[in-house]
């Protein structure tokens, strides 16, 4: 079930720049991989709805929180998205 809480990829990137400097998103065919400076890769960030522009897609905040848990920056991410 979709959530009412969504964020643009650019907002998620700002959160990553603040909470985990050195990360970069790498668009793949169906997902966006997020690489950090330590060589870890999160492969589960969706590209957004099909048929919509994917330049700066809207992504459910739960995906960003799950990614933050993976990288160990959940407290910082929650502060950023004001959850």
Work out the widest C-alpha separation in the chain, in whole angstroms.
Answer: 34
Q: How far apart are CA 4 and CA 65, in angstroms?
A: 15
Query: Rounded to two decimals, what is the model's pTM?
Result: 0.83
pLDDT of residue 1: 37
Render pLDDT for 21-62 as a digit per residue (tens, 0 to 9).
Answer: 999 999 888 889 999 989 999 998 988 776 566 678 888 888
Q: What is the pLDDT of residues 66-75, one digit of tens each?
A: 999 999 998 8
Q: How many residues does the chain have?
A: 83
β-strands 31-35, 41-46 pairing: antiparallel
């Amino acid at each position: 079930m979709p959530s009412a809480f969504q964020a643009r990829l650019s907002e998620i990137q700002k959160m990553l720049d603040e909470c985990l400097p050195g990360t970069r998103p790498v668009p793949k065919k169906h997902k966006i991989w997020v690489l950090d400076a330590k060589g870890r890769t999160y492969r589960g960030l969706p590209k957004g709805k099909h048929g919509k522009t994917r330049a700066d897609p809207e992504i459910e905040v739960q995906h960003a929180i799950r990614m933050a848990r993976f990288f160990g920056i959940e407290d910082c991410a929650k502060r950023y998205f004001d959850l």
